[in-house]
Amino acid sequence: VPEPFAARLAAAVAARGPLCAGIDPSPRLLAAWGLPDSAVGAGALASGALEALAGSVAAVKLNAAFFEQYGSAGLGALEAALGQAAGAGLLTVADVKRADIASTAAAYARAWLGRGSSLASDAVTVVPYLGLGALDPFVEEAEANGRGVLVVVRSSNPEGAQVQRALADGRPLESVLLGELAGRSPALGAVVGLAPGRQPLSLVDGPAYLAPGIGVQGATWAEFGAQFGSLQASPVVANLSRALLDAGPDPAALQAAAAAAAQAARAVCAQLGS
């Protein structure tokens, strides 16, 4: 069994800083890069972004939707991108936000975390609407292979509060779920979105955290610091998608955007003394 995902992510953050590059080949971004709205275009965008950013980020998050929109051909492009990222020494997060139960959850886990799967990633994102216990098949596959399961606890969109702030035994669901994660498995981490206008969540120190929301979605590095600055043992990466990729397709411009983001992240971390 390889080292656990959280330890591998901590090492990558120590080596290359707390950035995760979100690879989102949306139709808008493909047009901006001069690429076709097709599986071929999505594959070319991912390949170019990975080649330019490999030395600058700890991890990459590949957003399955933007490949799935091209059907099986799109999934083929995602397989190639996952292979390229792994070959470049990048940790891969498959952002799939899957959610199901029993043998269906096991099949999704096999797809995204299974040994030998063409879609295998270092970590996968999942959604807990069916209960945290329903995610056990993901956890088992992750534990067996040194991979991670990142539970979307808080999303970065304003509509998310309707569900995430509902009360379970008098406490907001997002807090209840966060509190239970670490006790269930060291393979479990969380996606904690930086949602403008919502107060920082109280976090358990130890699990891996992925933070979307900085940049176009409206959150700042100061808010990143306010949410994660007190953690000592947890590896944390901030996901930047459009904030990086809108600088492309020129590799030097992509690298400059990553360097600027890394500097902003370092300034926040230094200010927090971590």
Binds a second copy by CB under 8 A, chosen from 7, 134, 226, 262:
134
Q: Based on the shown chain and the rule CB under 8 A, indicate whether residue 118 belongs to the binding site for a second copy.
A: yes
Give the residue with the Cβ less far from a second copy, 130 or 231.
Answer: 130
Strand 167-168 to 171-172 pairing: antiparallel
Q: Based on the shown chain and the rule CB under 8 A, indicate whether residue 182 belongs to the binding site for a second copy.
A: no
Q: Considering the complex, what minimum distance in angstroms separates the CB of residue 145 from a second copy?
A: 15
Q: Based on the shown chain and the rule CB under 8 A, indicate whether residue 26 belongs to the binding site for a second copy.
A: yes
Q: Based on the shown chain and the rule CB under 8 A, indicate whether residue 63 belongs to the binding site for a second copy.
A: yes
Give the residue with the Cβ less far from a second copy, 30 or 59.
Answer: 30
Query: Is there a catalytic annotation at residue 61?
Result: no
Q: Based on the shown chain and the rule CB under 8 A, indicate whether residue 173 belongs to the binding site for a second copy.
A: yes
What string of DSSP letters covers 203-269?
--SSS-EEE--BSTTSB-HHHHHHHHTT-SS--EEEEESHHHHTT-SSHHHHHHHHHHHHHHHHHHH
Binds a second copy by CB under 8 A, chosen from 4, 43, 114, 189:
114
Contact 200, 236 (CB under 8 A): no
How far, CA to CA in Å, does 192 sit from each of 9, 67, 127, 156?
Answer: 16, 24, 12, 8
Binds a second copy by CB under 8 A, chosen from 8, 16, 61, 98:
98
Chain centroid to Cα 262, Å, comes to 17
Q: Based on the shown chain and the rule CB under 8 A, indicate whether residue 122 belongs to the binding site for a second copy.
A: no
Q: Based on the shown chain and the rule CB under 8 A, indicate whether residue 168 belongs to the binding site for a second copy.
A: yes
Q: Considering the complex, what minimum distance in angstroms separates the CB of residue 18 from a second copy?
A: 22
Amino acid symbol at 155: S
d(Cα 88, Cα 48) in Å, to the nearest integer? 13
Helix (H, G, I), strand (E, B) or coil at 128: coil
Stretch that binds a second copy, among 107-115, 202-210, 219-227, 256-264 (CB under 8 A): 107-115
Stretch that binds a second copy, among 8-16, 47-55, 83-91, 158-166 (CB under 8 A): 158-166
Contact 11, 43 (CB under 8 A): no
Residue with tokens 């955007």: 257
Q: Based on the shown chain and the rule CB under 8 A, indicate whether residue 32 belongs to the binding site for a second copy.
A: no
Question: Which of the residues 7, 27, 75, 97 is marked catalytic?
Answer: 97
Q: Binding-site residue total for a second copy (CB under 8 A)?
A: 59
Residue with tokens 């670490």: 182
Residue with tokens 């807990």: 128
Give the residue with the Cβ less far from a second copy, 56 or 121.
Answer: 121
- Sorted by sequence, the CB contacts under 8 Å of residue 131 that are 6+ apart come out as none
Q: Based on the shown chain and the rule CB under 8 A, indicate whether residue 101 belongs to the binding site for a second copy.
A: yes
Contact 228, 219 (CB under 8 A): no
* Residues lying near a second copy in the complex (CB under 8 A): 24, 26, 28, 63, 65-66, 68-76, 78-79, 97-105, 107-108, 110-111, 114, 117-119, 127-134, 152, 155-168, 173, 176
Catalytic residue ranges: 97
